[in-house]
Amino acid sequence: MSKSVPANQCPDCNGGLEDIKLFGRSWKNPLSGAAIDAEVMYYAAANAKRSSMMSMYEEAGTVRATMCHECRRIFLHGIPN
Ligand SMILES: [Zn+2]
């Protein structure tokens, strides 16, 4: 049984949660310092296959990321389409 916790409160320490952005970063060019950042915005079913035309996954929903002010734990929340 999971205890009921408000969506803006950490279930571990009761600290406040704030929205954050998660992203991946490509290799960084040592001369220019430039890299490509890609935000983690979507999720798909575990068995999702890439489409043949665009090589993209069919998204099942979006991801909301939050972090606790106190213990710094990061939470991911799926928002179905
Ligand atoms: Zn916490």
pLDDT of residue 44: 97
At residue 3, the pLDDT reads 56
15-19, 53-57, 65-69: least confident range: 53-57
Residue 75 C-alpha to ligand 1 middle, in angstroms? 10
Between the CA of 68 and the centroid of ligand 1 the distance, in Å, is 5
Q: Strand locations in 1-81, DSSP E?
A: 17-20, 23-25, 37-39, 42-43, 61-68, 74-80
- pLDDT (average), residues 23-35: 95
66 Cα: distance to centroid of ligand 1 (angstroms)? 11
Instruction: Report pTM.
Output: 0.77
Domain boundaries in the chain?
Answer: 17-80
* Residue in 39, 36, 44 with CA at minimum distance from that of residue 22: 39
| Nearest residue to 60 via CA among 75, 43, 78 | 43
**Which token pair is 71?**
């213990």
